[in-house]
Amino acid sequence: MSIFPNRRERVLLGLANELTDGELLALLIGTGSSGESASQVANSLLELGGGLQGLARLGPNVLAKRRGVGPAKAARLVAAFEIGRRGLRAPARLALRSWHDVVTWAHPRLALLEHEEVWLLSLDGRNRLKSERCIARGGLHGCALLPHDILRPALRDGASAIILVHNHPSGDPTPSTEDVCMTEAVARGCSVVSLPLLDHVIVACHGATSLAEAGAVEKSGAPQAPTRAACR
C-alpha cells in the first residue's frame, strides 16, 4: 500500500492547490474507460481543449463524445466549470460595521412580514457577512430557541462573530422579556465557545431596537448606534 496520499486524500487534507490540472480533472471524472485510466482521459481532455480555459468553453455534447466521458461525466464537468465561473462573479461580502448596517439589511426583508422570523448572521473577522440563515419561522417566538440552535450552524459556517435579527409583526420593536432572556442565554453560550454575539436587532414597521444598546449583549466590539431608529 502506498504511503503517499492519493488525489482525493490530498483534497481532503486541504492540498487541492497542489494538484495539477490533470489530477483535478481526473478526480472529477472519477473512473476511466476500458484500457484507459481517469488520468489518461483527463490529460486527453486538456489536450482537446488546449488547457483548462479552452476546455471550459467546450459544450457538453463535445465533451460527451470523448471516449471515457459520456453524458454523465460531461454534465459533471460542465457543472464544475459553471461553479467556478459563479464563484468568480460572487459579490463582495457586505460589511456590517454598525447597527445601522444591520437595520439596512434587515428592514426590507423582515419589517413588513406578518409572521415572525429569526435570522442568524455569521460574520468573518472583519465584520463582513459570511452567511445568513433563517433559524426560526412562523408563530415560534425567539425565546423558544436554545443556544445550541444558534451556535451549531454558526460554528459550522466558521463564523468569527454573529448577530441575531428578528422581526415583530405587531409593528412595535420594543424587546419583550422573552427576547432579553433568550439573548442573554445565547450570549452566555457564545462566551463558552469564544464566539462573540455582537448584537440582537429587532425590526418592525415602526422602528428597530438594538439589544446590545439595551444592555442584554456585551457591547465590546458590537456595532454602535442609537437604541432606536426609525424605519426607512
Q: Same structural domain for residues 119 and 39?
A: no
Last residue of some domain: 39, 71, 89? 89
Last residue of some domain: 89, 114, 134? 89
Q: Same structural domain for residues 130 and 204?
A: yes
Residue 213 included in any domain: yes
Q: Same structural domain for residues 120 and 196?
A: yes
Range of the domain at 207: 99-229
Confidence check: pLDDT of 114 > 90: no
Last residue of some domain: 54, 89, 124? 89
What is residue 7's predicted lDDT score, i.e. its pLDDT?
A: 80
DSSP string, 10-54: HHHTT-GGGS-HHHHHHHHH---BTTB-HHHHHHHHHHHHTSHHH
What is residue 90's predicted lDDT score, i.e. its pLDDT?
A: 65
What is residue 228's predicted lDDT score, i.e. its pLDDT?
A: 37
Percent of the chain whose pLDDT exceeds 70: 88
Confidence of residue 221 (pLDDT cuts 50, 70, 90): very low
Q: Same structural domain for residues 109 and 217?
A: yes
Least confident of 5-9, 19-23, 137-141, 192-196: 137-141
Mean of per-residue pLDDT scores for the chain: 84
- Please count the structural domains in the chain: 2
Q: Could you give phi then psi for residue 138, rounded to 5 degrees?
A: 100, -145
Residue 189 included in any domain: yes
What is residue 99's predicted lDDT score, i.e. its pLDDT?
A: 83
Residue 2 included in any domain: no
pLDDT tens for 157-215 read 999 999 999 999 999 999 988 888 889 999 999 999 999 999 999 999 999 999 998 77
CATH number of the domain bearing residue 23:
1.10.150
Residue 85: CA count within 13 A, CB half-sphere: 10
Confidence check: pLDDT of 231 > 90: no
Confidence check: pLDDT of 122 > 60: yes
Distance CA 143, CA 176 (A): 9
Q: Same structural domain for residues 45 and 120?
A: no
Distance CA 69, CA 10 (A): 24
Residue 94 included in any domain: no
pLDDT tens for 59-113 read 899 999 888 898 999 999 999 989 888 877 767 788 998 888 999 999 999 999 8
